Structure 1
Amino acid sequence: MLQESAQSGRRASKRLGSAAVQAVKEIGKGVASAVSSILSAGGGAVVLVLLMTVILVAAIVASPFGILFSNESREAGVVPLSAAVAQVNYEFNERLETLQTADDYDSISVDGQAADWIEVLAVFAVKVAGADVDATDVATMDADRIARLKAVFWDMTTITHRVEIIHHPGSGDDDGWTERNLYITITAKTAEEMKTEYHFNRNQIAALDELLEQRDLLRELIEDVYSVSGDTAALLRDLPEGLSPEREAVVRTACSLVGKVNYFWGGKSLVIGWDARWGELRQVTAAGSSTTGTYRPYGTDCSGFVDWVFYNQSGGGYVIGHGGGATAQHSYCTDISWADAQPGDLVFYPDNSHVGIVGGRDANGELLIIHCASGYNNVVITGKEGFTSISRPRYYTI
């Protein structure tokens, strides 16, 4: 009976109306208080009502609409949906980088954008959780789900390229020269097209249409700067007692972007919360990097990340670099010894070529650094390897 009820609930959840979908997240939050009220009421109906409540919630989580819960888990190996999207964007960037750096080109032109992430997520949720066979929930984003998400993304995004070669003849002592121009075309499929591509059945099509009506909810999941992964949550739990509110806020704000925003040379973002430009394909225009002139998903660089953190922590009232890079940020700090390091202090590579924020210490007492690193193409938490100096922002009162 329980199995049949769960299957029935799963089928019903696929046909949830728009109003019900918007209430899905509230159902999960209200379960604890509802259970408490039911138990206090007593009587033979208690167990039945409780059982049906659990079945309803379980059915929703197991359905394609379970993706609306995907930022709730703090388990090890599980990441927020925005971090999963950043991982796919990393692979997207790698493929573009490979094409753009395969040769020395006189010009690079990129036409098109990757598939709309809202539509990718909706199709992914329906394909994985709405399948008739081997369905898997999408309420948690672990390595297996991310691999499935990548597969859907690449089914919806195609990259083609061609190289134009123009020979310019010389004259006299001039041997002439050969012009090489790279043209990259990115073609995206829509969710509507994927209904046919994936041979979705009637229930899957209905679920997909319902999810696509919840674009704002799906966008909130991608742009959620409050959800963190299990490892990041552990760092926050281990912050020392007595840490000043300003320092704690800086660390928590820095942790909010871990795994979520790709590296972009010259990327700056003085906005409160999520920057809508992050993830958009853009050309790197800032000079001084091997990536200058190439196209990649927009994000932030190391100093841009630090600026965003202090800007958001202060509610938009403070930019630590005052518009400059890591060197400018260093100039608004006071150098200290490593022994005096506290969460929220800044650390630098030689010649201020890179900057990060002290996040805390690991189980062995070693410093943990939060930084946007080109080598990882993301905001990461690492040890202090490579950082040779530490400074205290004069922003702090203590």
Structure 2
Amino acid sequence: GVVIAVVVVICLCGIILASPLGIFFAGPDETTGAISPTQAVAQINGELGEKISSMQAEGGYDTLEIQGQPPPWSDILAVFAAKTAGASGGTTVAILDAANVEALRTVFWDMTKLTSSSREVEHPANGDTPAWTERILTVTITARTPDDMRVFYSFTEEQNEALDELLANSNLLATLAGDLTISDATAKKLLADLPADLDPERRAVVETACRLVGKVNYFWGGKSLVIGWDSRWGQLSKVWADGSSTTGTYRPYGLDCSGFVDWVFYNITDGDYIIGHGGGAHMQHTYCTSISWEEAQPGDLVFYPEDTHVGIVGGRDENGNLLIVHCASGANNVVITGLEGFTYIGRPLYYGE
């Protein structure tokens, strides 16, 4: 009887995993190359920002205006799961491998319609500034609803029932899109290799930093003093901070390098400590004590020349080389890399306070 009960449970689990509800169990898998829903969402959000930026660049427009937002990711995931696993002979959505990520990307763009228009505004001369013509691009984002997609994809009765059930659990789907579970394989290995006697505060810094690997896009001037997942992450926002080639463009909101470090220390202290004390990487550096590279420990900070970038020492690789967790503009995400580019190291005063 016990054996039969176990078999029944296993069969039921298999049925759920093979159904559209399998999306709730989606996670990374090194053997298949599958990634977490949060990582997939960050990838596609980044692609949206790149597409809109290219529309502005290709037309040589001076100003970009955005009207509307993409549909909620809970809606997109629900439609994707019902379409992919709910179809006759469908495939599981419990594994977001390359094929399923591509299928999710297709659903996103089917639900996210971009249209554009342009206009010119004449600006008269003002003092030493001559008259000039401003070329403005307006991109309108029209979000299709799950009900629109029922018709668009010609859902069957079974798919419609699955979609209804998924939409009834939209809060859980939204959580999937902002999951802070450590899912990146490189991050898991880094944590597994940490010294057993590492100070608990340092371990907390590295673990918290790894929670965002692959999940939050880079955003110049992006800050977040929020405990846990920031609901603004991923939403198209105008880059307002000066000093970047992206200033004035629209990108998925995320973090810059110092914003990432601030978020980590803010979260490990339940909101009691901001390592930069309101400033950027330079201010974070001033609240560190200079140490030698030989003294480096997980949780210390490293900096580019002139404090143009900051990262967190995560540990060492099998050859003893330092690994750095940082929010990098080049990768448009939180990544783990080697020491390339970092020339200074400091020990946060936080560890002595």
Q: Contact (CA 8 Å) 1:71, 1:227: kept in 2 or not?
A: no
Does 2:64 align with 1:108? yes
Q: Contact (CA 8 Å) 2:182, 2:210: kept in 1 or not?
A: no
TM-score (norm 2): 0.94
Does 2:169 align with 1:214? yes
Q: Name which of 88, 97, 106 aligns with 1:132.
A: 88
Question: What residue in structure 2 maps to residue 201 of structure 1?
Answer: 156
Question: What residue in structure 2 maps to residue 118 of structure 1?
Answer: 74
Could you list the per-position Cα deviations for residues 21-66 of structure 1 after superposition, in whole angstroms to 9, with x for gaps in the alignment?
Answer: xxxxxxxxxxxxxxxxxxxxxxxx2332221111100110111101
Does 2:203 align with 1:248? yes
Matches for 1:42-121 after TM superposition, within 5 Å: 45-71=1-27, 77-121=33-77
Does 2:198 align with 1:268? no
Equivalent residue of 1:278, what SS? coil
Q: Contact (CA 8 Å) 1:76, 1:229: kept in 2 or not?
A: no
Give ranges in structure 1 of 5+ residues lacking alignment.
Answer: 1-44
Distance in 2 between the 1:341 and 1:260 partners? 26
Distance in 2 between the 1:168 and 1:317 partners? 48
Does 2:303 align with 1:351? no
Q: Contact (CA 8 Å) 1:75, 1:230: kept in 2 or not?
A: no
Question: What residue in structure 2 maps to residue 305 of structure 1?
Answer: 260
Distance in 1 between the 2:242 and 2:329 partners? 15
Distance in 1 between the 2:34 and 2:303 partners? 30
Equivalent residue of 2:81, what SS? helix
Inter-CA distance 343–75: structure 2 relative to 1 (3 Å threshold)? farther
Question: What residue in structure 2 maps to residue 296 of structure 1?
Answer: 251
Aligned residues: 350
Q: Contact (CA 8 Å) 2:46, 2:251: kept in 1 or not?
A: no
Q: Aligned letter for 1:320?
A: I
Question: What residue in structure 2 maps to residue 20 of structure 1?
Answer: none
Equivalent residue of 1:363, what SS? coil
**Could you tell me how far 1:73 is from its partner in structure 2?**
5.2
**Could you tell me how far 1:166 is from its partner in structure 2?**
4.9
Distance in 2 between the 1:358 and 1:267 partners? 21
Inter-CA distance 75–324: structure 2 relative to 1 (3 Å threshold)? farther
Does 2:109 align with 1:154? yes
Q: Aligned letter for 2:48?
A: F
Distance in 2 between the 1:308 and 1:74 partners? 28
- Of the structure 1 ranges 146-155 and 47-56, higher mean CA displacement relative to structure 2 is found in 47-56
Question: What residue in structure 2 maps to residue 335 of structure 1?
Answer: 290
Q: Contact (CA 8 Å) 1:360, 1:367: kept in 2 or not?
A: yes
**Could you tell me how far 1:103 is from its partner in structure 2?**
4.6
**Could you tell me how far 1:367 is from its partner in structure 2?**
1.1
Q: Aligned letter for 1:370?
A: V
Equivalent residue of 1:101, what SS? helix
- Of the structure 1 ranges 101-110 and 141-150, higher mean CA displacement relative to structure 2 is found in 101-110
Q: Contact (CA 8 Å) 1:74, 1:229: kept in 2 or not?
A: no
Question: What residue in structure 2 maps to residue 371 of structure 1?
Answer: 326
Distance in 2 between the 1:244 and 1:185 partners? 51
Q: Aligned letter for 1:336?
A: I
Distance in 2 between the 1:120 and 1:372 partners? 26
Larger-Rg structure: 1
**Could you tell me how far 1:115 is from its partner in structure 2?**
1.8
Question: What residue in structure 2 maps to residue 4 of structure 1?
Answer: none
Question: What residue in structure 1 maps to residue 346 of structure 2?
Answer: 391
- Of the structure 1 ranges 104-113 and 319-328, higher mean CA displacement relative to structure 2 is found in 104-113
Could you list the per-position Cα deviations for residues 56-108 of structure 1 after superposition, in whole angstroms to 9, with x for gaps in the alignment?
Answer: 00110111101111147576733221111001111111101111223543432
Distance in 2 between the 1:342 and 1:150 partners? 40
Inter-CA distance 362–113: structure 2 relative to 1 (3 Å threshold)? same
Distance in 1 between the 2:87 and 2:228 partners? 35
Could you list the per-position Cα deviations for residues 346-369 of structure 1 after superposition, in whole angstroms to 9, with x for gaps in the alignment?
Answer: 010110000000111112221111
Could you list the per-position Cα deviations for residues 149-201 of structure 1 after superposition, in whole angstroms to 9, with x for gaps in the alignment?
Answer: 1111011112121222356799xxx9964331111111111111000111110
Distance in 1 between the 2:179 and 2:99 partners? 22
Identity, in percent, stands at: 57
Distance in 1 between the 2:124 and 2:280 partners? 45
Distance in 2 between the 1:74 and 1:249 partners? 25
Q: Contact (CA 8 Å) 1:72, 1:227: kept in 2 or not?
A: no
Could you list the per-position Cα deviations for residues 311-359 of structure 1 after superposition, in whole angstroms to 9, with x for gaps in the alignment?
Answer: 0011111110001000000000011111111111101011000000011
Q: Contact (CA 8 Å) 1:74, 1:233: kept in 2 or not?
A: no
Matches for 1:170-249 after TM superposition, within 5 Å: 177-249=132-204
